[in-house]
Amino acid sequence: MKSYLVKEKEGKLYYSPGIILENHESLNLVNHSIRIKILEILSKKPMYPAELAKDMKLHEQKVYYHIKQLLNAGILEIVEKKEIRGTVAKKFFPKEMNFSVSLSSEWAPLAQLVKEKDSEVINFFEPFIKDGILNAKIVVGSPDPHGPHKARARDGHYAIDLALFLGSLCSSENDFTVNLDVDTDLKDSGNLIVVGGPVTNLICQKINDFLPAKFSDKKPWGISSNGNNYAEDTSGLIARIPNPYNPEAKIIIIAGIRYIGTKAAVMAITKFTKNIIKDFHSQKEFYKIIQGFDMDGDGKIDNVEVLE
């Protein structure tokens, strides 16, 4: 059975293959300076004991003794055999380079560790993520002319960054996770994560009247909320609402006035997640209006500010 060690560093999880030893005595067999050196050398390439003895400048019988102890611990494996002058020479290689002894009988799914580590984030994406599996479709605008404005979506590729972000929180089933707006039926769909504004994404257009902050339905484009109108091209909206056409499902909107605003909104939810969702407490409707900024002057958005 394949095993892994997981550690946290600077807020991120890292893993490495390892071996769970049968008992603590096996760990004692590893805890020897020569045996650790043998494992370090063999991890670079498999070797015969004679080669290893020459490399370490040790007597061959001494190397055999330490290899036998590592075999008894279940850490080395034979990867090649060769007959030399009537005897069989064996080439050895470590099974893994991480070793541990487990005294606990309690093991939980790794998805639970992710949930505990990012509980606020997982809570926001519930039920879009369920039991560590993506439980939603990502809807992007069609690249072909469509809708009343005959617009081509230019922001669908931003869903790639969103998908990479969601992949750090969950895995997906075998089915495709992305739909075009023109192929999506709000009544028959479950949970949706909609990327793009109402001009280029018809699903965003259809639910615009149900949003807590609304996109203008005519020029000049903007986002209206509480008597305010946000009309900068880099303005965007992140909203979480029930699906008005399917009471069993929910929708997240990540959209901008223009494609650059959608980019800013995607950046906000993926790079500045906790700042965006810090006021989310499982309320029925939630939204943030943001604006993207180019802080280093290279012509590309690299930061966002919450406007409302």
pLDDT at 149: 82
Nearest to 49 by CA among 18, 33, 26, 71: 71
pLDDT at 11: 67
Domain extents in the chain: 3-101, 110-306
Task: Answer yes or no: pTM beyond 0.75.
Answer: no
What is the mean pLDDT of the segment spanning 181-188? Answer: 90
Structural fold of domain 110-306: Chitobiase; domain 2 (3.30.379)
Q: How many residues are given for the chain?
A: 308
- Helix ranges restricted to H, 197-294: 202-207, 259-271, 273-277
pLDDT tier at 156 (50, 70, 90 boundaries)?
confident
Cis peptide preceding 220, ω within 30 of 0: yes
* 3-101 carries CATH number 1.10.10.10: yes
Q: Which comes out higher in pLDDT, residue 148 or 218?
A: 148
- Side-chain-side CA neighbours of residue 120 (13 Å): 11
Asked whether residue 298 carries a pLDDT value surpassing 80, the answer given is yes
pLDDT, tens digit (0-9, with 9 covering 90-100), for 245-257: 998 899 999 999 8
148-155 CB contacts, 8 Å cutoff, 24+ apart: 149/199, 151/199, 151/200, 152/200, 153/181, 153/196, 153/200, 153/201, 153/259, 154/200, 154/259, 155/195, 155/196, 155/200, 155/256, 155/259, 155/262, 155/263
